[in-house]
Amino acid sequence: MTTPGTLQETKEISTQQLEGDAETPWEVILFNDGVHSCDEVVFQIQKATGAGLPLATQVMMKVHLEGLAICYCGPRKKCERVATILREISLIVEVLRGN
């Protein structure tokens, strides 16, 4: 099971990224938790992001196989909304400033 702390190994987060310009998009990172079924995760991704079944399934598979995936990119407020919806079923997510 992957936890948010292991994201540091995958993506280096610097102060510059966190305080970067307002035009830099934000990302919602979804982590594998080993608790939810694939169908639950796909449905929640669709609900949170508006993605279709093929894309939501692709994101779920990446999370399942790699431990984490970016499931949404956009303005900070929208990313926070997406993260809130994903957390409704206790999915593990982080919102970070993108590259």
Calpha distance 19→81 (Å, rounded)? 20
Calpha distance 40→85 (Å, rounded)? 13
Which tokens sit at 53?
Answer: 């079944």
Q: Give the domain range for residue 77.
A: 4-97
Q: What percent of the chain has pLDDT over 90?
A: 73
H helix count then E strand count, the chain: 5, 3
- Per residue in 53-91, pLDDT (tens digit) is 999 999 999 999 999 999 999 999 999 999 999 999 999
In the chain, the number of structural domains is: 1
Calpha distance 51→19 (Å, rounded)? 29
Task: Kindly report the average pLDDT of the chain as a whole number.
Answer: 84
Which tokens sit at 50?
Answer: 């508006």
